[in-house]
């Protein structure tokens, strides 16, 4: 899974699953969605929980999350032009949504920080370097949700899907059902 999904979405599920199924060995890998899907395609992974590309039908929809502009509690950068952004690397599925929304709204922007880790993005936002875009359910406490009131354009929802390779082991099938049951409660 991407590391921004790990804490708020999956860590509690992993903990509950390992308590209930201590004989099933889990190995978690964090990377961007595109890399994870590629590794699944060559059977390096059993299950992938990641962002589904717009219009794609593959994978099993787990939940739909609105994308959200976020900023630091004690910095007001949303009115700066060009707007400073902290975004994941170019293979991030959220990046084109953010850039496209700003372009459509005629808001100039600049890349203030580009990173591949959730912690790095959050650090850049906390330090007042930039604002960013996250799935709303992944926004940790201590950040401001930004939107139309701050002059920012609306963002779409994103699909989070579970991808499974063929011929899963019984343990992997059990974990897939656990993920769907635990995260599927918030489906749109």
Give dist(CA 42, CA 30) in Å, integer.
17
Please tell me whether residues 93 and 149 are part of one structural domain. Answer: yes
Please tell me whether residues 147 and 169 are part of one structural domain. Answer: no
Please tell me whether residues 118 and 71 are part of one structural domain. Answer: yes
Please tell me whether residues 40 and 111 are part of one structural domain. Answer: no
Beta-sheet pairing, 60-72 with 143-146: antiparallel
Q: Are 52 and 58 in contact (CB under 8 A)?
A: yes
Tell me how crowded residue 148 is: count the other CB atoms within 10 A of its CB.
9
pLDDT at 185: 52
pLDDT at 187: 43
pLDDT at 5: 87
Strands, E, within 97-156: which ranges?
A: 109-115, 132-135, 143-146
- Domain assignment of residue 145, given as a range: 67-156
Please state the pTM of the whole predicted model: 0.86
Please tell me whether residues 122 and 58 are part of one structural domain. Answer: no
Helix (H, G, I), strand (E, B) or coil at 71: strand
Please tell me whether residues 74 and 47 are part of one structural domain. Answer: no
Q: Are 71 and 134 in contact (CB under 8 A)?
A: no
Residue 120, burial from CB neighbour count under 10 angstroms (0-12, 13-18, 19+): middle
Task: Tell me what the mean pLDDT of segment 91-118 comes to.
Answer: 94
Please tell me whether residues 116 and 95 are part of one structural domain. Answer: yes
Please tell me whether residues 165 and 145 are part of one structural domain. Answer: no
- pLDDT grade for 186, boundaries at 50, 70 and 90: very low
Give dist(CA 155, CA 116) in Å, integer.
21
Q: Please report, for the domain that includes residue 125, its CATH number.
A: 3.40.190.10
Domain count, the chain: 2
- List pLDDT tens digits, range 2-58: 988 887 678 888 999 999 999 998 898 988 888 999 999 999 999 999 998 777 888
Q: Cis peptide before 166, with omega less than 30 degrees from 0?
A: no
pLDDT at 78: 92
Please tell me whether residues 11 and 79 are part of one structural domain. Answer: no
- List pLDDT tens digits, range 126-185: 999 999 999 998 999 999 999 999 999 999 999 999 999 988 999 999 999 999 998 875
Please tell me whether residues 72 and 151 are part of one structural domain. Answer: yes
Please tell me whether residues 73 and 152 are part of one structural domain. Answer: yes
Please tell me whether residues 96 and 125 are part of one structural domain. Answer: yes
């Amino acid at each position: 899974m991407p590391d921004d999904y790990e804490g708020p979405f999956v860590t509690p599920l992993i903990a509950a699953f390992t308590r209930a199924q201590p004989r099933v060995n889990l190995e978690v890998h964090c990377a961007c969605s595109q890399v994870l899907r590629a590794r699944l395609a060559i059977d390096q992974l059993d299950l992938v929980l990641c962002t589904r590309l717009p219009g794609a039908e593959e994978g099993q929809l787990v939940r739909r999350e609105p994308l959200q502009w976020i900023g630091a509690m004690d910095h007001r950068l949303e009115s700066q032009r060009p707007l400073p952004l902290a975004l994941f690397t170019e293979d991030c599925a959220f990046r084109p949504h953010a850039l496209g929304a700003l372009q459509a709204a005629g808001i100039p922007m600049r890349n203030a920080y580009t990173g591949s880790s959730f912690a790095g993005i959050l650090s850049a936002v906390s330090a007042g370097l930039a604002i960013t875009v996250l799935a709303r359910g992944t926004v940790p406490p201590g950040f401001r949700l930004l939107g139309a009131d701050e002059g920012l354009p609306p963002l779409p929802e994103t699909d989070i899907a579970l991808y499974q390779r063929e011929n899963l082991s019984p343990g992997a099938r059990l974990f897939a059902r656990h993920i769907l049951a635990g995260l599927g409660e918030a489906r749109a």
